[in-house]
Structure 1
């Protein structure tokens, strides 16, 4: 695909996600926000300026609720089979605002409390060791590290949180992959989401019969106490399984690519001069795991005084984390470069900002720190088996990762 060489509005977003960072760079040339056309001919704004993003994310006049505030949705102009429609149809903390958002977020915040996250450290260590033990047997081969490690680690941690029964493990793994694909036909997208809801229903039924001290039981108890409806319960599972898993997979994926492509920086980390925390934060900045988050809506006419940008009531808004995290005004003229010693690495928006800050952010960071440190301790000679330019991106303008991560674990 050839990107638009000359910016023009509306910019058509590539549904295949083939050039996420190049698109982000082009969109920044429009100014703080640009008119775009999402796949399916859905008009929206793409906001790329990090300061404007922060202001919008705390503005009470910017809503997540399509049913109340997206003019085209309310008017019936969004096709029922639009493949990304599920992202606005679900009823969970991702699509609610104000009091509703606080109500739906509350049980999730309890579930991801600092105590529960800290209590997972031994299990994350054990899961990581188990996965690395499995890689020892194939250390002489070219393997797909995304499938064998980056994908499995967060999925097994989520299974630990949910106490997912063994017979559902593989089904969740096989289904989750299609949720972020934005190049699917309407029929394929519908099939993927229907299968996910079937699995969630089976998990809820099982956990209702076998309650325990886990996230599933906490959410079911919230439903039983009247804090969540049946639909909100199922959609809260959707949020954690999809967003919670995908973010960490892509974080691990890009960290491995960048560290193996910058051996001098890897040496700084393994030699103790730079922390694994710094690696995680710079990876989140350099390659936002969620490139574009859809959607927010202007509940009234919203005029940003600092930039002069005006969003009309009912306009749809995309937050471009990929563009914001490489803003040269924040990170300097080398913002496109990966640098674990960058002083502004922590100044990113990969997990959002304000009331919608990702509740699982610290768990994702914890998994990445443990997973990456143990991976490179066990396999210090790990290297890509192909040139980085040959890695194929995920077919998604939402999720930013690779389809496969071919590596050799030894020299």
Structure 2
């Protein structure tokens, strides 16, 4: 039974994302949760309700228009909340209505099916290069596949797509990595915000002076075109930040979790190797069971939304979607929803990349990278195993980003050993 007097205090470090998701699900389809900084939000765990809300025009992601507590960015909360960077940006994700459509059209040009498929040879080349590099590292002992492979591949792919130089990329990745943590002070958050926008201004300035055949150059051209779509400088910068962040973090978590799942479920890996299941099955079941973003702040009720006889989300109240909870919703995936099973009939019935107008525009690219990377890795190192017991693999310090801090493995090849 839902208790409006007792919001659940979420663990900002995300030490047990799925345990918390189960507790929240038990409280009802939507329940109030306290985030770091004392901000109370409605967290939605029920898949059917999530789909309903993500397609409801009464739900917005525009913090400036529809969250009264934000006061158009002038409130004390807006200035001091440690999680402000999650909601303060202005881009296609946070825009509402026609503004969202205008901004999404600009970015969608870079992620058409044709352009995504055309990246396959380049992705294959990057994967081959990374595998050679980690093979060299393997001589010295365990290799962290999170850092070297799961993270290395998508960061290089998205950097090339956007046109981000290596020196800026590395600094930007460091800032975003710190930003993803759920445990951050007001001062640390303010410092990160200043650093990221200083760096992004430098990046945009560099691309204005050195345009190329890349996404950032195209966005700058749209921004600077007097007859263009009216892209503001803030929208330009925040769209670059969004595309870069979402373009690597979700894919890194997908690869990380898929590798971990197969190494801890050898019978499932054997099914792929002998043809009883496909790599696409692995990918979809991984997205279902380990949503790349576990929880995603925030959305807002544009007007009162009645959920049921007991729950009404009032106009202006914030909403957080629990994609982790939805992925393991027993109403959709059965009583064994916590089990990794690549033959599960509902493995593709997930919303791990969103739903509705805000469905992740880069999802086809993430899947393509995984379809190339995973079989290449497991073929190259066909006797690979975890270097430490599974229970010593530590999750990221985040209630949003769902991956591991490290994924240490022994990169063994049965063919070489024989």
TM-score, L = length of structure 1:
0.95
Q: SS of the counterpart of 1:94?
A: coil
Shift in Å, 1:219 = 1.0
Distance 1:208 1:359, change over 3 A: same
Q: How many residues align?
A: 405
Shift in Å, 1:275 = 1.0
C-alpha contact (below 8 Å) 2:4/2:32 kept by paired residues? no
Corresponding residue of 2:416: none
Deviations along 1:121-140, whole A, 9 cap, x unmatched?
A: 11100011000000111224
Distance in 2 between residues matched to 1:192 and 1:266, nearest whole Å: 40
Deviations along 1:179-208, whole A, 9 cap, x unmatched?
A: 211101122222223222232222212221
Corresponding residue of 1:302: 305
Distance in 2 between residues matched to 1:142 and 1:406, nearest whole Å: 6
Corresponding residue of 2:392: 390
Corresponding residue of 1:53: 50
Task: From 322, 330, 351, give the equivalent of 1:349.
Answer: 351
Distance in 2 between residues matched to 1:172 and 1:66, nearest whole Å: 24
Corresponding residue of 1:86: 85
Distance 1:37 1:166, change over 3 A: closer
Shift in Å, 1:79 = 4.8
Corresponding residue of 1:110: 109
C-alpha contact (below 8 Å) 1:302/1:312 kept by paired residues? yes
Corresponding residue of 2:401: 399
Task: From 7, 14, 23, give the equivalent of 1:10.
Answer: 7
Structure 2 counterparts to residues 345-384 of structure 1, below 5 A:
345-384=347-386
Distance 1:169 1:67, change over 3 A: closer
Shift in Å, 1:77 = 5.6
Structure 2 counterparts to residues 254-293 of structure 1, below 5 A:
254-293=257-296
C-alpha contact (below 8 Å) 1:7/1:29 kept by paired residues? no
Shift in Å, 1:329 = 0.9
Q: SS of the counterpart of 1:45?
A: strand
Which structure 2 residue ranges, 5 or more long, are not aligned?
Answer: 414-418
Corresponding residue of 2:197: 197
Distance in 1 between residues matched to 2:115 and 2:213, nearest whole Å: 10
Corresponding residue of 1:220: 220
Shift in Å, 1:73 = 1.8
Corresponding residue of 2:172: 172
Shift in Å, 1:323 = 0.4
Deviations along 1:232-266, whole A, 9 cap, x unmatched?
A: 00000110111221101111110011000011110
Task: From 321, 324, 327, give the equivalent of 1:325.
Answer: 327
Structure 2 counterparts to residues 102-251 of structure 1, below 5 A:
102-140=101-139, 141-225=141-225, 226-227=228-229, 228-251=231-254
C-alpha contact (below 8 Å) 1:179/1:242 kept by paired residues? no
Which structure 1 residue ranges, 5 or more long, are not aligned?
Answer: 1-5
In the TM superposition, structure 1's runs of 4+ consecutive aligned residues that sit over 3 Å from their partners are none
Distance in 1 between residues matched to 2:117 and 2:172, nearest whole Å: 25
Shift in Å, 1:309 = 3.3
TM-score, L = length of structure 2:
0.93
Distance in 1 between residues matched to 2:328 and 2:373, nearest whole Å: 25
Comparing 181-190 and 115-124, the one that deviates more: 181-190
After superposition, the CA RMSD in angstroms is 1.7
Shift in Å, 1:340 = 0.7
Distance in 1 between residues matched to 2:49 and 2:284, nearest whole Å: 21
Shift in Å, 1:7 = 11
Distance in 2 between residues matched to 1:318 and 1:304, nearest whole Å: 15
Distance in 2 between residues matched to 1:404 and 1:187, nearest whole Å: 27
Shift in Å, 1:399 = 0.7
C-alpha contact (below 8 Å) 1:295/1:318 kept by paired residues? yes
Structure 2 counterparts to residues 26-105 of structure 1, below 5 A:
26-74=23-71, 76=75, 78-105=77-104
